[in-house]
Amino acid sequence: MTMFTDRDVLVIGAGFSGLYALHRLRGQGLSVTVLEAGEGVGGTWYWNRYPGARCDSESYYYSYSFSEELQNEWEWTERYPQQPEIMAYLNHVADRFDLRRDIRLGTRVVSAEFDDDATCWHVTTDAGERLSARYLVTAVGCLSTANVPSIPGLDTFAGEWFHTGQWPHDGVDFAGKRVGIVGTGSTGIQAVPVVAEQAAHLTVFQRTANYSIPARNGPESAESRQAIKDDYAEIRRTQRESTNGHPFLISSRSALEPSADERRAIYEAAWQRGGLRFRASFGDLLSDPAANETASDFIRAKIAEIVRDPEVAERLTPRDHGFATKRPPIDTHYFEAYNRENVTLVDVRESPIEEITPTGVRTRTATHPLDLIVFATGFDAMTGPLLGLDIRGAGGRPLREKWAAGPRTYLGLQIAGFPNLFTITGPGSPSVLCNMPTAIEQHVDWIADCLAELDARGLTRMETTEEAEEAWVAHNNEAAGRTLLPQASTSWYLGANVPGKPRVFMPYAGGFAAYARICEDVARKGYDGFVRTG
């Protein structure tokens, strides 16, 4: 069935971004339809249901700040929210703000085309339906396109296999099975200890050893929940003024300043407290290699202490990149899992996987019989979800062609040649280097204010210029170059995890607060770097 429907805004995705975009844009009188591929709201959290799936940001700040009532009425039960609790929260948000009536579930967008004559976007869904809107807003997340490695023989495997980001909704039974997990990023590190407890045997296939900090998860007491609520105004203010959208600031002190004993005591306290805050212990961990080495060394020593078999400990020890130059995982008994009798570590850098056979995985030097394989192999991050939409801008130019050598945007919000398209947490914005809800709220607010201004002035078309984009790409590279982040050669921030993907540092590394100030400034100067016409 083909049909034309007109509205002001089409939003693609009903996760954290899409839900807030709908609430905010509808609240200012725009007609909005959200198209969501899943059969429920939740986005990334709808799909990632693997064992141990939990957010690495703490629940009280991995949440919306736009409604005081919402943040005061919701009760988080644990320090870090588990996937089902985040889903419950987002479903509550959808109900509380009456969002469902404008969300179409089970509707996957297969293409989006800008119509120069009518100044609008036409979107086609997998059911062949065409919808149109004056503005198109992508709320597709940064980590939503699964990266399943193309290993010869996968289709011959007699057992079941799953990617963690496309997990079956009725769960997976590991009992009595020989399970393989490929990948030791944040996901693998969460899943390994949980699967190890359920499976008969677990073989972990590791390509790059990873640093990890204990999460120290636990129940949130009624008192601590109340203390947080009493302090929410200040917590939210700090988040917005911070580098990573967290409610704590990074120390201004160099890691090289204290004595070795004092430094160790600072790291030890951070290790005991647990969580991503470890990274904030000193101000130069991500800019000075010698400072970074002190943190990396501290964690390496912890791995050697925790893992009983020295050979396994050494294989688990990262030596090819510094701590937090790749996204730092946090864990609950990850390294401890390797002390179990039923867990084996296979180093696939030493002995790469050559094929998957009907009965398991064959590396260059050994065969590993398996009943079930879990791919915790990450995502085609940031650009994957956008390129998957087959977006075509002015003159029919495909985004895929424009981004052939890597993503180019202005502020991560707009793309030259793609008028009236806004990308929430797009490449070139802080996104994955930030607590996501903080980054999302800032983007949605900026876009909403921008659309209100366009309407108030009777303008109908907005597009960034090639010059503004060029300057932003250069600034982005320069901001990344001031950090050690681009030096981690296996990082998904660089696209390095997906074979053939251009190596471009994708998120904006200049810090969230600085970025938000730039965006405000651009708006104040009459949307500098954009051309707006009526």
E strand residue ranges, 348-468: 353-357, 360-363, 367-369, 372-375, 391-392, 421-423, 461-464
Compute the distance between CA of residue 261 and CA of residue 77 in angstroms, rounded to an integer. 37
Q: Which is nearer to ligand NA7, 143 or 307 (CB)?
A: 143
Q: Which residues of 234-266 are buried (b: 16+ CB within 10 A; e: fewer)?
A: ebbebbeebbbbbbeebeeebbeeeeeeebbeb
Beta carbon of residue 478, minimum distance to ligand NA7 (angstroms, whole number): 24
Nearer to ligand NA7 by C-beta: 125 or 490? 490
The residue of the chain with the least Cβ separation from ligand NA7 equals 185
Spatial distance between the Cα atoms of 371 and 176, rounded to a whole number of angstroms = 9
Nearer to ligand NA7, 192 or 513 (CB): 192
- Name the minimum Å distance from CB 405 to ligand NA7: 21
Q: Give the shortest CB-377-to-ligand NA7 separation in angstroms.
A: 4
What span, in angstroms and rounded, lies between the C-alpha atoms of 337 and 499? 30
| Residue 147 CB, nearest approach to ligand NA7 (Å) | 6
Q: Are 64 and 232 in contact (CB under 8 A)?
A: no
We find the least distance from the C-beta atom of residue 373 to ligand NA7, in angstroms, to be 11
Q: How far is the CB of 12 from ligand NA7 (least distance, A)?
A: 20
Give 393 or 495: the residue with its C-beta nearer to ligand NA7.
495
Comparing C-alpha atoms, which of 389, 324, 409 is closest to residue 145? 389
Residue placing its CB nearer to ligand NA7 in the complex, 184 or 292:
184
Q: Rank residues 99 and 209 by Cβ distance to ligand NA7 and give the closer one.
A: 209
Strands, E assignment, 253-398: 330-331, 343-347, 353-357, 360-363, 367-369, 372-375, 391-392
Pick 345 or 432: Cβ nearer ligand NA7: 432
| Closer residue to ligand NA7 in complex, CB, 186/325 | 186
Is the Cα torsion angle 324, 327, 330, 335 positive or negative in sign? negative
Closest distance of CB 381 from ligand NA7, Å: 7
The residue (of 342 and 363) whose beta carbon lies closer to ligand NA7 is 363
Binding residues for ligand NA7 (CB under 6 A): 143, 149, 182-188, 205, 207-208, 327, 348, 376-379, 432, 490, 492, 497
C-beta contacts of 390-396 below 8 A and 24+ residues apart: 390/110, 390/111, 390/112, 391/111, 391/112, 391/113, 391/418, 391/421, 392/111, 392/112, 392/113, 392/114, 393/114, 393/417, 393/418, 393/419, 393/421, 394/114, 394/116, 394/418, 394/419, 394/463, 395/116, 396/113
As measured in angstroms, the least distance from the Cβ of 394 to ligand NA7 is 33
CB of 202 to ligand NA7, least distance (A): 15
Tokens for 153, please give them. 């023989």
